[in-house]
Structure 1
Amino acid sequence: MINTELTFKDDSGGLLVIMPSAVNRLLDYRQIDSSSTEAAGVLIGERRGVHLVIHEISEPGKGDIRSRCFVDRRGEHHQAAIDEAFVRSSGKLQYLGEWHTHPEDRPSPSPKDLGTWRRHLVAQEQMALVIIGCCQIWAGKKIGNDIFPLLKI
């Protein structure tokens, strides 16, 4: 169990902070054994100026398509999690981006990941991207059509 947040930094000093409860939920989906399937969900949190703070995630469920090296986040429960968090927090918590797993120790975005994010993650504000590997976590930000890896600090 992780008791501290994970923090990543971009080249401009902007932070992506993942709170401990969200980190622990994400780590639960690591593809540690050979039969584990990829998992995906949304990142829910708050914007603090140039910083993003992840408080919650949506988790895989009904409607999602999952296999060893593929995931398609289709379940309606992901949007329901965003809507519920937004209402419960009086608008403070919102959709901040996407997460999914890879069955590798040190994950990085595949060409398919990059293309999907560029096509479907359209926003005026910066968005967070997280890939959970077996041993490490990759994090990035999407600003406009550009995707930038973040440095763990």
Structure 2
Amino acid sequence: MRHVSDWSLPDGSVLLNFSDNVRGVFERNVQSGDLPESGGVLLGTVHERGLLVTVATTPTRLDRQLRYLFERLPFGHRAVAKRLWRSTGGTTRYIGEWHTHPQDIPTPSAIDLEEWRKLAKARADKRPLLAVIVGRHSLHVELTHGNGRRQLLRPY
């Protein structure tokens, strides 16, 4: 797999791991040729110093997928998140969002940054939102806080 599984903040204070299943979803949705953008939510467990992302939902028929736009509608994604929350006694939870870009090394657009800020601000648990963009050769991974502060993660 081309995408790195382990990430951290530069000071090592937060560690992040993408499971093989999540990395497989990323790989299968790399945006090459004329494929539209894809995306979904990231679910997993929160630990003292880190996050383990175990599930990445994939586009539903209700989502809007264009070459340079992915609009995730909540219905199918929310059902998966609720089911996992209940079946794990609340340990598997919503961690963030992912989507693709048709770039080798992806960078967030102004629309991405604003949407991530809104989602982070709306989080009931007040934790930062994990935001991931899947590019053709690498990932963009960051934590976005409700106040708009961004923290880029790097491969560990």
Does TM, scored on the shorter chain, surpass 0.5?
A: yes
**1:96 aligned partner:** 95
| Per-residue deviation, 1:118 | 1.1
Q: Distance in 2 between matches of 1:127 and 1:52?
A: 11
Superposed CA deviations along residues 8-42 of structure 1, whole A, max 9, x for unmatched, are 11134211110111111121111111x20001100
Q: Provide the identity percentage.
A: 26
Is residue 2:49 matched to residue 1:50? yes
What TM-score comes out, normalization by structure 2 length?
A: 0.90
Q: Secondary structure at the match of 1:113?
A: helix
**2:27 aligned partner:** 27
**1:109 aligned partner:** 108
Q: Distance in 1 between matches of 2:74 and 2:153?
A: 28
C-alpha contact 2:57 2:77 (8 A) present in aligned 1: yes
The gaps in structure 1 that reach 5 residues or longer are none
**1:142 aligned partner:** 144
What TM-score comes out, normalization by structure 1 length?
A: 0.92
For residues 63-78 of structure 1, what are the structure 2 equivalents within 5 Å?
A: 63-78=62-77
**1:86 aligned partner:** 85
C-alpha contact 1:42 1:97 (8 A) present in aligned 2: yes
Superposed CA deviations along residues 106-138 of structure 1, whole A, max 9, x for unmatched, are 001111110111123323112211100011111
Is residue 2:155 matched to residue 1:152? yes
Superposed CA deviations along residues 43-101 of structure 1, whole A, max 9, x for unmatched, are 00000023111000111012101100011001510001101111121211000000000
Tell me the matched-pair count: 150
Question: What RMSD in Å do the two structures reach over aligned CA positions?
Answer: 1.5
**1:16 aligned partner:** 16
CA 1:143–1:50 in structure 2 vs 1: closer, same or farther (change >3 Å)? Answer: farther
Q: Distance in 2 between matches of 1:115 and 1:128?
A: 14
Q: Secondary structure at the match of 2:142?
A: strand
4+ runs deviating over 3 angstroms: none
Q: Secondary structure at the match of 2:30?
A: coil
The gaps in structure 2 that reach 5 residues or longer are none
> What amino acid is the match of 2:42?
L
Q: Distance in 1 between matches of 2:49 and 2:146?
A: 14
> What amino acid is the match of 1:22?
V
CA 1:105–1:118 in structure 2 vs 1: closer, same or farther (change >3 Å)? Answer: same
Q: Secondary structure at the match of 1:76?
A: helix
